A and B are shown apart, each in its own frame.
Chain A
Amino acid sequence: MNLAAVEAGLLLAWVRIGLRALPFDVLLRGLHHYGRIRTGGRSGPAAGAGAVVRAVEGASRRIPGSSTCLARALTAHAMLSRRGIPAELRIGVRPPGKGDLEAHAWVEAGGQVVIGELDELESYRTLAARGARVRGALADLLRGTGRSWKEVGADPDTVLEIIDREDLVGLVRSALGRVPHDWPAELGGAVAGRSREMIGRELLRSQETARVLAALADAGIPGLLLKGTALAYRVYPHPSERPRQDTDLLIRRDDTAAARRALEQLGYRAPAYSGEDELFRQFEMQLLDPMGVLHAFDLHWRISTQARFADLFQFEELWETAVSVPALGPAARTIGDAEALLLSCVHPAMHHRNEERLIWIYDSHLLAQRLLPADWDRFARLAVTRSVAAICLDGLARSRARFGTVVPDAVLAALEDAARSGEASAEYLAPRREWRHEVASNLRALTWRRRLRLLREIAFPRPEYMREKYGVSGTVVLPALYLRRGLAGVWKVVTGRK
């Protein structure tokens, strides 16, 4: 038994437990971090992909109980990522009534399906593949030049999926109330319902965020809110219009241990995969509140996990120009608007393979609208001196194209000049997508009930389907508790030792 087989067995077992026991986002983050731990593989990429897939399929047969297509795809994808083999995880759905499964997961590498091949795979459409036209219509709605429903060219369910996936629920709801439109009332009603749910969650979030910031302040730890949470409370009309998974907080390097203790005293715990690791330049702490809302804080002591951007700003210089965020309590501070716009422009290139998400572009748009002439000067000077002018130009271009953001000509000219000199950071502009965002956004795209169905269908394929496809006679589903207690047992099954 080789090492890849052992790894596949353990990881598959963990993924299967995780699919039942963990919030899906937490599982994805864990796998994302796992995939970043590179191995020094001896075999070439092509041979590597085959070996990984054989290892996962072998483990799937050996471990008792049924491993779903999603569990196998997640496992194979994490193992391929770890070996530096470019692979894409896909989750597709198809209209109900066209066979056994409405949802299926598979992995593609080098344009080939390496795991999860099905005869009728073409009939599954990945959610990310559709909707460019709908995104355009949504952007127009937000900028107040609404399009007729006929021009949107999609059914209400699809549009709702895209609104959800793009994190635009709150913004679309308020725009539908403001802009004259002929969009179906059922869509407006569904958006309003989702929005209320998010507002409810935001109420808990704001209370909890204020509690955490107060505790850090009491411990003498200055912190700066970055990105989503800061923007939600500083530039959005209502904070629920800016959904986010976690709250990013920049602290001093010397304060990391004290900050961890302060959060632990509030009941926060580090997720299993997250160590206080210099490599990531951040650590994460989570708390599941009694309402079932997960509060996650990402504490950074560098502005970025990417070495190229890690020293873009130092804590002290940001602290000097910090502004308060009264809605999150007296201790809440965030960075100035010029710095925030720069980070908002850099963020997709820095961490998300330059993915174009409307909500991030809208962040930049709202920030740009707030900037005074002196702020623009500061923004341009920072972009040039920190060698991110090309990236900032790209970010502003998106914002101008989507939302008609007004940017002073002098700022554009200064950025263009600097960009021509050739900045090393410009390589980050190559459009790539990070797999876990694709998966998370695919799942976000489904409304709650449909998402539950999707997860269940991926997690528990019907017995007939299993028989037909894999010759398995019936599904044995072990209780999660048994599996957890029996991890040593799983090890024995995988290694063949008794």
Chain B
Amino acid sequence: MKDRVPLASARLTAAPDVLFTTFEEEVVLLNLKDGVYYGLDTIGAAAWAMLQRPTSLPALRDAIVAEYDVTPRACQADLERLVGELVDRGLVVVVP
């Protein structure tokens, strides 16, 4: 974990073995590798939609700041936490 690519500069995308669906405004993810499922709320769902193609943290942040009433600084912190967790759980992968 310590020597992984810093997320801030990495190209990121949704892992291939993850099924997902949208229910109301929430996205539910199912990791086929371990059978664990996760729920993402509106902002998380928006990030997940963008992660269907390779993207980066700054690009995610800019898109969300443009759409929602949030400061870039707060959005950056929230996204780092969210994407960090998604990567740790194998739901998002770093594009080599």
Contacts and interface: CB of A to CB of B under 8 A. Distances in A.
Interface string A270-303: 0000000000000000000011100000000000
A468 interface: no
A177 B23 CA distance: 11
B24 A200 contact: no
Contacts of B21: 199, 202-203, 238, 240
Contacts of A151: none
A177 B25 CA distance: 10
Size category of the A interface is 10 to 19
Contacts of A291: 32, 35
B26 to A, nearest CB: 8
Interface string B19-46: 1111110001010100101010000000
B19 A203 contact: yes
B37 A199 contact: yes
A199 B24 contact: no
Contacts of B37: 196-197, 199-200, 203
Q: Could you tell me the dominant secondary structure of chain A's interface residues?
A: helix
B39 A203 contact: no
Interface string A170-198: 10011001000000000000001001110
B35 A196 contact: no
Nearest to A203: B19
Contacts of A200: 28, 30, 37
Q: Could you tell me the dominant secondary structure of chain B's interface residues?
A: strand
A372 interface: no
Contact of A174 (B24, B28, B32, B39): B24
Contacts of A196: 28, 37, 39
A487 interface: no
A75 B22 CA distance: 44
A204 interface: yes
A240 B39 CA distance: 14
A207 interface: yes
Contacts of B39: 192, 196
Contacts of B28: 196, 199-200, 203
Interface residues of B, number: 12
A302 to B, nearest CB: 34
A288 to B, nearest CB: 13
Nearest to A200: B37
A356 B24 CA distance: 28
A170 B23 CA distance: 9
A290 B19 CA distance: 15
Interface in A196-218: 196-197, 199-200, 202-204, 207
Contacts of B30: 200, 203-204
Contact of A204 (B19, B22, B23, B24): B19
Contacts of A202: 21
Contact of A207 (B19, B23, B35): B19
Contacts of A292: 35
Nearest to B39: A196
Nearest to A195: B23
B23 A199 contact: yes
A177 to B, nearest CB: 5
A192 B23 CA distance: 10
B19 A240 contact: no
A292 B24 CA distance: 27
A207 B83 CA distance: 26
Interface string A238-250: 1010000000000
A290 B17 CA distance: 14
A195 B30 CA distance: 13
A490 to B, nearest CB: 36
A196 B23 CA distance: 9
Interface of B: 19-24, 28, 30, 32, 35, 37, 39
Can you list the 6 inter-chain pairs with the closest CB atoms, starting with the nearest? A200-B37, A203-B19, A291-B35, A199-B28, A200-B30, A203-B30
Interface of A: 170, 173-174, 177, 192, 195-197, 199-200, 202-204, 207, 238, 240, 290-292
22 contacts: A170-B23, A173-B24, A174-B24, A177-B24, A196-B28, A196-B39, A197-B37, A199-B21, A199-B23, A199-B37, A200-B30, A202-B21, A203-B20, A203-B28, A203-B30, A203-B37, A207-B19, A238-B23, A238-B24, A290-B35, A291-B32, A291-B35
